A and B are shown apart, each in its own frame.
Chain A
Amino acid sequence: MTKKAKRAMTGAECSAEAMKQINPDVVAAYPITPQTPVMHTFSQFVADGAVETEFITVESEHSAMSACVGSAAAGARTMTATSANGLALMWEVVYIAASTRLPIVMNVVNRALSGPINIHCDHSDSMGCRDSGWIQLYSENGEEAYENTLMAVRIAEHKDVLLPVMVCQDGFITSHSVETVELLDDESAKAFVKEHEAVDPLLNVENPVTYGPLDLFDYYFEHKMQQVDAMEHSKRVIREIFDEFGTLTGKKYDFFEGEHLEDAERIILCTNSTAGTARVVVEELRAKGEKAGLVKMRVFRPFLNEEVVAKLKNAKAVAVLDRAASFGGYGGPIFMEVRSAFHEEKEKPVMINYIYGLGGREMDTTQIKTIFSELSAAANSAPGDLGSVIRYSGVRE
Chain B
Amino acid sequence: MSEAANWFGRRDPDARGYYGSFGGRFVPETLVAPIEALEREYLAARSDPVFGAELLRLLLHYAGRPTPLWHAERLSDACGARIFLKREDLTHTGAHKINNALGQALLAQRMGKTRIVAETGAGQHGVASATACALLGLECVVYMGTEDMRRQALNVFRMRLLGATVEAVDSGSRTLKDAINEAMRDWVARPADTHYLLGSALGPHPYPLMVREFQSVIGKEARRQILEQTGRLPDAVIACVGGGSNAIGIFDAFIEDKAVRLIGVEAGGESITAGRHAARFAGGAAGVLQGTRTWVLQDEHGNIEATHSVSAGLDYAAVGPEHAWLRELGRAEYFHASDAEALDAFQELARLEGILPALESAHAIAYVRRAAKAFGRDAVLLVNLSGRGDKDVQSVEQILEERRRVAD
A complexed with B? no
Interface residues of B (CB under 8 A from A): none
